[in-house]
Amino acid sequence: MEFTLEPMAILRVLCGIWFIPHCIGKIRHVGPASATFAKAGFHPARLFVIATIVVELIAGTGMVFNILPRLAAGMAVAVLLGASYAVVKINGLNWRWQKQGPEFMVFWSLACILSVLD
């Protein structure tokens, strides 16, 4: 029996798994997360936090288990671009993470897209 690892499958799984700490952080800190969402202009903030957690869990699960992976990646990208918008709205147009820029979310979005292309 031969077992091969496909690089794009590994990337897809990693992109999905990476949502776990994001969800845990939001779940454990709904109040501060809601304040951040409100600061970015997402109202009602708590509802946006809960919706984001749900979408991240669905997207992450889909990517990890290869369930409708393109749809899952699309959902992931939507959440990540929303986070990028929020970061820019709150912190200004800074690119680097040291200045709390959106480059991590943009990179992650691109990785999600690339991981599901055939």
Domain ranges of the chain: 7-115
- What pLDDT is recorded for position 2? 64
With a pLDDT cut of 90, the percent of the chain lying above it is 86
Helix (H, G, I), strand (E, B) or coil at 118: coil
The Cα–Cα gap between 105 and 84 comes to: 6
Across the chain, what does the average pLDDT equal? 94
**Tell me: the pLDDT tens digits for 19-71?**
999 999 999 999 999 999 999 999 999 999 999 999 999 999 999 999 999 99
Query: Nearest 5°: CA angle at 101, between 78 and 62?
Result: 30
Please give the full DSSP string across 65-109, using - where no structure is assigned: HTSSHHHHHHHHHHHHHHHHHHHHHHH-S--SGGGT-SHHHHHHH
* Amino acid identity at 115: S
